[in-house]
Structure 1
Amino acid sequence: MENEKIDFLKTYLSLYIGHQEIVEHLDDPDSPYVVLDIRNAPAAIKKDQIKGARAIAAKDLTAQLATLPKDKTYVVYDWTAGTTLGKTALLILLSNGYQAFELASALEGWKGMHLPIEPVAAD
């Protein structure tokens, strides 16, 4: 039973990427990462986002897959790590052959660490 728990935790943790790996690529035009803000909310509600993030609401992600190059690694985030939108977006991406991770600690953790954010462009 302990080995099953360990295997489960290894798989679970493999779905996440830490902020430190993303921060070092934020200003790199050749970054291997594309950060996706998948929050289902208008710009007026969101107000800010991770610097350089591309907004694609989780509800629209399947319809937008053709706009995402497959040679990048996608990092999805939602408001908090406890919500399911990030996991739903991750499932969509992985099921369609994309390399993807969910951002550990989500936007809440990113902002709590005072990492780069920017205003969300008006819809």
Structure 2
Amino acid sequence: MQTNKIDFLKTYLSLYIDHTTVLAGMQEPDSAYVILDVRNAPAAIKKDQIKGAIAIPAKDLSQHLSALDQSKTYVVYDWTAGTTLGKVALLTLLSAGFNAFELSCALEGWKGMHLPIETL
């Protein structure tokens, strides 16, 4: 039984990437990371996003896959880690063969750590 729990947790945690890794990668020339803001809300409601993120709502992501670079690693985020849009977007990307993760701290955690954001 413990082995099943451990295997499940390893799989679950492999879906996420932490802010430290993303920040370090973003600072490299020709970064491998592309951050996607997958919140399904207009800019007037969002008000801000992670600096350099590309806004593609989770509900529209499947229609934009052909415009994405398969050689990049996509990091998706939603409002909080407990919401499902990031997971829906991650499933869409992984199912289409992309290398992708969900940001472990979501936007709420990113802003809480005072990491770079930009106003919309």
What TM-score range do you get, normalising by the shorter chain? over 0.9
2:37, 2:14 → 1: CA distance? Answer: 20
CA distance in 1 between partners of 2:8 and 2:15 (Å): 11
TM-score of the aligned structures, taking structure 1 as reference length: 0.95
- Which residue number in structure 1 is paired with residue 37 of structure 2? 37
Is residue 2:73 matched to residue 1:73? Answer: yes
Alignment of 1:8-27 (within 5 A): 8-27=8-27
Structure 1 Cα separation of the partners of residues 10 and 28 of structure 2: 30
Q: Which residue of 1 aligns with 2:49?
A: 49
Distance 1:69 1:25 in 2: 16
State the identity as a percent.
71
Question: Number of paired residues?
Answer: 120
1:86 deviates by 0.4
| RMSD, matched Cα | 0.8
Whichever residue aligns with residue 11 of structure 1, its letter is: T
Gaps of 5+ in 2: none
CA distance in 2 between partners of 1:32 and 1:105 (Å): 20
- SS of the equivalent of 2:25 reads coil
Q: Take 1:73 and 1:27, find their aligned partners in 2: how far apart are those partners? A: 14
Write the distance in 2 (CA, Å) between the matches of 1:26 and 1:48. 18
> TM-score, normalized by length of structure 2?
0.97
Aligned twin of 2:88 = 88
After superposition, the C-alpha distances for 1:26-84 in whole angstroms (9 at most, x for unaligned) are 34440000000000000000010001000000010000001101000000000000001
Which residue in 2 is equivalent to 1:62?
62
- State the distance in 2 between where 1:23 and 1:74 align: 13
Aligned counterparts of 1:85 and 1:35: Cα–Cα separation in 2: 14
